[in-house]
Amino acid sequence: MIHIYCGDGKGKTTAAMGLTVRAVGHGRRVAVAQFLKSGKSGEREILANLPGVELLPIPEEMKFTFLMTPEEKAAEAVRQKDIAAQAFARSSKVDLLVLDELCAALSTGMLELPWVLEQLDACPEALEVVITGRNPPPELEERAAYITEMKKHKHPFDAGLPAREGVEW
């Protein structure tokens, strides 16, 4: 089944990581792929120490795509597709596949939707797949068994406060 955690509110990645912890607590195997994020995401440190969790490698530093040159975007698209390919290659070896910020990789053009849909359609039937990010494409929503939207009503960022380590990242 496909789970989508989407919306403009905080908590999409947090929900995906919570399901990761729950699955591992029940003896399940989990692979986590994170798109357009750096290795500085706080959840990685603890998840790396949990038996049954495989974190796919991501860069230690990551620019926002709107700050990238065309050449950097092209190189990053290759890296993002490699991360996705590694994730989908593990789909038959795990019980839960987390594709954190897949929607962002799609909306920024780092991944192509037809290829992602083809990979999802080829996944084992018993696999749980979690996809996070804003604005999931309708084609993903059609395949989803769960769609949970996090809606922002208020956020410190609106008052000009930057993201805080340990809370937002």
Position 14 in a domain: yes
CA dihedral of 85, 9, 17, 114, whole degrees rounded to 10: -20
Position 103 in a domain: yes
Position 158 in a domain: no
SS3 of 55, please? strand
Position 108 in a domain: yes
Position 83 in a domain: yes
This prediction's pTM: 0.90
Position 96 in a domain: yes
Domain span at 68: 2-153
Number of domains in the chain: 1
User: 108-163: per-residue pLDDT in tens?
Assistant: 999 999 999 999 999 999 999 999 999 999 999 999 999 999 998 888 888 888 88
pLDDT for the residue numbered 68: 85
User: 68-109: per-residue pLDDT in tens?
Assistant: 888 988 888 888 999 999 999 999 999 999 999 999 999 999
| CATH value at residue 61 | 3.40.50.300
Nearest to 122 by CA among 85, 147, 148: 85
Position 159 in a domain: no
Nearest to 66 by CA among 13, 116, 107: 107
Position 6 in a domain: yes
